[in-house]
Structure 1
Amino acid sequence: MTGSIIFDPLLQWPLVWAAVALGVLFVAVAVWRGLTGWWLRGLAVIVLLVALFNPSLQQEDRAPLSDIVILVVDESASQRIATRPEQTEQAIAAVEAEVAALENTELRIVPLGDAEDDQGTLLMSALAEAMAEEPRARLAGAILLTDGQLHDVDRAPDLPAPLHVLLTGEEDDWDRRLLVTNAPAFAILGEPVTLTLRVEDQGAVPESEGGTAPLEIAIDGGEPQSYDVPVGQDLELPITLPHGGMNVIQFTLPEADGELTDRNNSAVVQINGVRDRLRVLLVSGEPHPGERTWRNLLKSDSSVDLVHFTILRPPEKQDGVPVNELSLIAFPTRELFIDKIDEFDLIIFDRYKRRGILPSLYLDNVRQYVEDGGAVLVAAGPDFATANSLYRSPLSEILPAAPSSRVIEEGYKPRLTDLGEKHPVTAGLDSFAPAAADEDGPGWGRWFRLIDLEEQSGHTVMHAMDERPLLVLDRVGEGRIALLGSDHAWLWNRGFEGGGPQLELLRRLAHWMMEEPELEEEALSATAEGQTMTITRRTLGDEVGEVELTGPDGEVVMVPLEEVAPGRFEATVEGPEIGLYRLKEGDQDSVIALGPAAPKEFEATIASGDLLEPEVESTRGGIARIEAGVPDLRQVRAGRPAAGRGWLGITPRDAYLTADVTLTPLVSGWLFLLLASLLMVGAWLREGRS
């Protein structure tokens, strides 16, 4: 119970002060006129003013409140390396015991994990949120249990009590990290692209670690290559992408002896390889309705350099016209098929037949071109079933199907085979149908010619009536070849009976033959959105095994896949933390990074109080290393130093809760009015006798 005198005036304060001024003036006039009772008049004025002020005795029933100490525990990824988890547990137990030994003091423990979107450690934000939940008048101190590597020091709240830091880590910690300071998102195939790397050492680096570090580079999870690179210097690294599409380049520093962590020893760069120009050689055996369709489709893509030759005057044509009167361009066979054949990305034979224009030696060179990594597409016409067929040439060694010498002239709808529904070249093509599917297949327009083929190798992805092969794909050596057993694909482009997906089919064929990763038959890939990754496994088989997923911390998890479409299996996984993940299923492997491969949390791993020192000094707090022992807690007065050797101080707040308030007036209005009247009458009588 406490008491105090308060004033509760009977009038508003301006009127009370006006009354005071009027009373003073009244007494001053009495003195000026020499009235002997002026002092009695002054006493009367004082009594009336005291009554107006209405003094009261205020008594409060107070309940004392305990002081609060906030302990923010940093549980981010960098706090889970080396001996820091054990140090954190030790410090929490020690602080709990110290606070429990203090009278009228409570402890609030606030855990802090990793922030979303790779924002790092938001230590000050957590402290501000914890302070907002507690009465400011009860806050006796705040303690941060951390490695000192925070990323929001500019958000430090205004503390009414000391701020202390308990620092994890050890004095002799050292770490090595890899940074990719410059990496383009796109690069042109065949041209080197320059990446800028840097290897940095932090902390107490041992003398045994020289000025170089081993660096391993792997592309798309392949066999890594090792190099010795300088430490502490920018390294310009030229790289030529091996294929089009997304190239995943992984850089790894092997973990050194005594290094704090290897979580920042890896980096993944994803560069999309694009072709500067796609060089296509189109050789048409003779003019026909589909020739212009092929030409228009290829010329519609601005990235395609098309070289097109049509055989208008074969050797057997004898019409008596002198050669010097013809405007035809001679077919540069030697230049195209000997000197510059390797410059083409794709060669298309459109209804071409042997006429002696291309000797067997040149066609054998085409075969060798495919085995060395080239691509050939044969669009067969009726001549493919004759004795002049390309099959009766050295190309027969690489063609995936042989003609039966029969040409079928009747209407049919091309259909996908069971394998074609899985193959990335044709999978989903039925969704491009202008009409609904029926028993005759997708709602595409009909074709009216088929070269009867006998499959010998490869994969038949489209067939015609009676399941006769229509489109056969195969791999030969390092290259690829495709055989289309009809010259009526142009009917789709003309929109006959609704047409069909000729443009999409040709685009996929070209990209598959260019070995684009997104069109590989057997592939394991993953895409990420935030911390969620979608794993995709494409295969021509009927089933796949579980994916072996290795996290940034080395933990391995087996992920089962579910078939979502023919030949396509998927799974969605929530990554527990930011970093580099490795995937493996059978002979397929891949890598993916959730966030950066070296997250912000591992940019600086050496424990240090430098960032927090200005905030700690402004509250007269202290920074202590747990390695040297957890300091004691003491109570100190406000404004005094709150840290010393082996101890940290908190400021008692003496906060209380008012349970009840009692007001007792000290002045009786009628009594003071009577007293004032008597004084005024006394002054009148005294002055009257005078």
Structure 2
Amino acid sequence: MFECVSGDQCSVRVNGFLLAAVFMTFLWTPASLILSLLVLLAGAACCVVSWRRGGRTRAVAALELLRFVLIVLVLVTLNQPELQREVRPDEQPRLVVLHDVSGSMKTRDSAVQSVVSTRQETADGLIRPEVWQPVAQRMQVVFEPFSAAEPIGAGGTDLQSALLAAADRHTGLRGLVVISDGDWNIGEAPAVAASQLRVRGIPIYSVPVGSEQRLPDLILTAADAPTFGVAGKAVRIPFRITSWLPQESSLAVTLTGTQGEPVTKLVRVPGMGQLQDALEWKPTQTGEYTLSLQIPVSDGEIREDNNQLQIPIAVREEELKVLIVESLPRWEYRYLRNALERDPGVDVSCLLLHPDLTENGGGRGYLAAFPEDAQLFEYDVVFLGDVGVGPRGLSVQQCASLKQLVRTQAGGLVFLPGIQGNQNTLVNSELDELLPVVMNTSVPRGRGTTRPGRFALTEAGRRSLLTRLEADDVENEKIWNGLPGFYWYAAAERARAGAQVLATHDSESTAFGRVPLIAARTSGTGKVLYMGSDGAWRWRKGVEDLYHYRFWGQVVRWMAYQRNMSQGESMRLFFSPDRPEAGSAVTLNANVMTAGGEPLREGAVTVQAVAPSGATETIRLAASGQDSWGLFSGDFVPREGGQYILRAACAETGARLEMRMAVVGQEREQVGQPARPDVLREISRMTRGESTDVASVQQLVQRLAAMPEPAPVIVPL
């Protein structure tokens, strides 16, 4: 904005500053000044002499005067002239007080005059207007809260953005006062903002609140329960307890909300350590449950609100369909079939393609031929034994159908190679790309040993639920190390890209490392497992079906998990990953069939996602292709933690389906974490400001009130 101050002298007002007093300055040096004077005198003398010699006429005088002016201009240029303007503040200077209101400020560890209060209560006491009254007499004091502009349910602290936003919003800024615990968890490091503020001449005065020492506390850190369970079958609920108490704690972990008697387990948590364990609960009725896992409050704990976790779980009747395809009835096949047949939640069918028989094996539960696509896609898991491509094996089309079962129908496929080496013929079929490992085709019949080999869990295997034979990590490792050995294994060279090796041979290696024995991967919407030894039936020694049945039971349920999330008569809805997290993409998949039982090729399939807060988002699922057998897929990002309601609908068939999805929330703000005053001290140092403790805030206020007026700023025009 332009305004005239007096007479013809006008000034410009820009962002609260008044631009006035235009003047010129020279960047001269003593040498340049002396040289300029000497040249000026010499030039003047030459001009006078020339004027006299030229008859002292007016024309010669004008010419010499012009020459003298040019000499003067050259000398002025030699001394680097610069036209400048003085800039004076035209508004009252400001001091912005930023105070943290994030979740970590609820921590009760701020001690002022022997009174322990929350960090937020301490900060609230420091932003009272009377505290800053001495400063308010000389400048405008503005109080602003900060945390993070995040979606609902995903809080955090973005200190860097808060600093830059305050500096951009306010003019005439004399400094920023930051009252915080220094715990930032969103955005760039605060030092990035401090570097920019230093260039702009804006100092940061920080007041850290909270203790740098961790509070004595007992935390129920996590409970990793499945999304759904099966009525009549035990549900295993692993949990983790973290102790920040100096002594060991003996306590009872209790599971309530079971519509029956609470489930309790006594545990001992080491001081300043962690405990991993698990509870087992056997639901008797179907329905939606909200379980509560809790531990009692121990003596010396500061917090009581982190001793409980809510666990949503859906319980339903189980009807898993499993198909076992084998050539010879070897021991692994017999014990596997026997174990699955005794499982009341599993319906087992078998297809025995014996190489010496013209007809397939028959009897109870046996199929006369490989099922057609419509019947095949009803199976949740297929075990493919020592079977290949050929006259007494699978056809090329049947291999393609198995691939479709996995990739588009969320089915599971287990490869169980055998000593006949028939699976090596699958290398030239469509099933080859599903294999989690690369086979050594030069050793089709695998390798036998005289000394028993053993399974060695990898790091991924130690964490996987598939290889969890005991709840405790140490005990689970002991069980695997003590399992009876095997005397044959398939000649796998290495794992394929994207596969996860869960167990290797304990002693045999290839050029790529230890021989992979158990490997898993996802393919499309389904899952694939490779078991490189047929000696798992030996695990029954001394313990009967305990570990053999537990392992294969976990495999079947792990593979059928997504497929059975929610299923209607003509639509199936499932999602990936199994345990979605707030802020991460989730893939929604729907298999839709027409009224005639054919897969829907094209159509309008939508899913309405209702968040715990009530916010609704509609996701349109797109057809995955002509060969995808009615598969529609789409992605969305849940922004909140908690129970989502997913309502799927298809306009062409009129099918509707509803299911629940538990989303793990992002717990960025951890109440009870130590404060980080080092972060605040660093940004104060970088901006030439000051960091002071809560007890010395009045001294800081006095120093800010005594700051001199800012000197006028000289800017070039």
| TM-score for both structures, normalised by structure 2 | 0.39
> More relative contact order in 1 or in 2 (CA 8 Å, sep 6+)?
1
Structure of greater Rg: 1
